[in-house]
Amino acid sequence: MLRRLPKTPMTDPFATARTSFLDGVRAFEAGDLATAEAAFRASLESLPGRPSTLMNLAATLTRAGRPAEALPLLDQALAGEPGSTEALCHRGAALAALGKTESALAAYDEALRSRPLLVPALFQRAVLLNLLGQATAALVALERLMAIRTPDAEAWFHHGQTLQALGRNDAALQSYDRALALEPHGASTWSRRGTLLKDMGRMPEAAHSFQQALVHGGDAELNRYFLASVSSDAMPQAAPRAYVEQLFDSYAADFDQHLVATLGYRTPQWLAALLPAGRRFDGALDLGCGTGLMGPLLAPCCAAIDGVDLSRQMLEKARETGLYRHLWHADVAAHLQQGGEHYDLVLAADVFVYVGALDEVFAGVARVLRPGGLFVFSVEEADAGETLQLRPSARYAHSRPYVADLAAAHGFAVQHVDRQTLRHDQGRPISGLLMRLSRS
């Protein structure tokens, strides 16, 4: 007699893959990225290489902060579906998250070649162009998008930001106001509106905008800092580190050209001129070294130059000069407390404007500087009657007595002070002090 085989369920790989796929989409939409990832991977096990599943898995990984893992999946999806605009947009998002802005832009451009009116690609293109400092092109992209689709608050926000970058302040303010009319709780818009009004010299309105940004859950450290720069609100003792890092990361590519060629920045040269002629140094530490503009000025008289800075992109530029022995990514005060090296020269060109209160830095320099070593730096000079001041430019200024008191408290003798116009702000000369102290 024939034995009956046990009944096994008939599994349709397509149906199984589809179920997992839909589970993944639901989890992704609910923000449960771990479940979404597992579901998309399960779906791919049933139906390997399916482009739409690969794309969704890639989008999940990008959103989970793992964009590098998304890229090979998107290559696979594009091999299966050449020219897929969806895959190209996901590729753009992954590349943008990796900071590869130009490659991300190229991915969106490729998508737009086959679908010129693809709204998400147009939008991301504008965002990336702004990041690259190409505000004119960003405005063209945004206005094309706004002609296709009624702009939402996000589009007006970016429109405002782009106009602000182009110096079209009145128009930018209108765009921010339109964004806020659609989304009154938009903390980022309130904050950007505050910076715009601050630059327009409308301080009470700027203060109101920063207060609104705080009320609506905007970045508390940043908005308090901005608020203090335009009002008598309690002054933070330092610029937010994340703000400085982001500011200079985005500035790094154009820093030398913009500051030196356009704005005539000369502080490194002035500080170098304070070094006694003919003196040689065994080791120099360049605090807030930026792109390394001090490097070539120090190389002839220093056996070794080290640098420390908060911005990785600026440090990368300094590294390219080949003039620095060590470069550290750190806050200057923290680094000075921990570093094991000792120096006979420490410099800081246009850095203390972001550091704010200088007690810790002076204590740290006293720790790393050998007796007889020199401490050379610039500060913006505070207005009469102020000691430490946070200005609407979002930069700190220090008075000469403030610095002299710190010098005395930490065992430095003030050897030399020069007064210079460091830069112009809204057409007004900004006076600064160039100082040379010696470690007793």
Ligand X SMILES: C[S@@+](CC[C@H](N)C(=O)[O-])C[C@H]1O[C@@H](n2cnc3c(N)ncnc32)[C@H](O)[C@@H]1O
The residues that touch ligand X, with contacts defined as CB under 6 A, are: 244, 248, 267-268, 288-290, 293, 308-311, 314, 331-332, 349-351, 354-355
Judged by beta carbon, residue 78 or residue 403, the one nearer ligand X is 403
- What is the number of the residue whose Cβ is closest to ligand X? 290
State in angstroms the smallest separation of the CB of 199 from ligand X. Answer: 18
State in angstroms the smallest separation of the CB of 355 from ligand X. Answer: 5
State in angstroms the smallest separation of the CB of 299 from ligand X. Answer: 15
State in angstroms the smallest separation of the CB of 253 from ligand X. Answer: 13
Q: For residues 46 and 411, give the distance between their C-alpha atoms in angstroms, rounded to a whole number.
A: 72
> By CB neighbour count within 10 A (0-12 exposed, 13-18 middle, 19+ buried), where does 257 fall?
exposed
Pick the closest to residue 241 from 316, 367, 118, 335 (CA basis): 335
State in angstroms the smallest separation of the CB of 289 from ligand X. Answer: 6
- Which residues 6+ apart lie within 8 Å of 113 measured at CB? none
State in angstroms the smallest separation of the CB of 166 from ligand X. Answer: 23
Judged by beta carbon, residue 61 or residue 336, the one nearer ligand X is 336
Judged by beta carbon, residue 264 or residue 278, the one nearer ligand X is 264
Pick the closest to residue 38 from 55, 15, 61 (CA basis): 61
CA angle at 56 for the pair 53 and 61, rounded to the nearest 5°? 125
Contact indicator for 51, 77 with CB cutoff of 8 Å:
yes
Judged by beta carbon, residue 141 or residue 349, the one nearer ligand X is 349
Judged by beta carbon, residue 32 or residue 219, the one nearer ligand X is 219
State in angstroms the smallest separation of the CB of 293 from ligand X. Answer: 4
Which tokens go with 101? 């802005």
State in angstroms the smallest separation of the CB of 399 from ligand X. Answer: 20
Judged by beta carbon, residue 194 or residue 288, the one nearer ligand X is 288
Pick the closest to residue 357 from 404, 397, 310 (CA basis): 397
State in angstroms the smallest separation of the CB of 82 from ligand X. Answer: 43
The neighbouring-strand residues paired with 378 are: 434
> By CB neighbour count within 10 A (0-12 exposed, 13-18 middle, 19+ buried), where does 150 fall?
exposed
State in angstroms the smallest separation of the CB of 349 from ligand X. Answer: 3
Judged by beta carbon, residue 322 or residue 372, the one nearer ligand X is 322
Judged by beta carbon, residue 288 or residue 432, the one nearer ligand X is 288
Q: For residues 383 and 392, give the distance between their C-alpha atoms in angstroms, rounded to a whole number.
A: 13
Owner of token pair 């990336």: 128
State in angstroms the smallest separation of the CB of 265 from ligand X. Answer: 7
User: How far, in whole angstroms, is CA 37 from its chain's centroid?
Assistant: 30
Pick the closest to residue 250 from 135, 132, 97, 157 (CA basis): 132
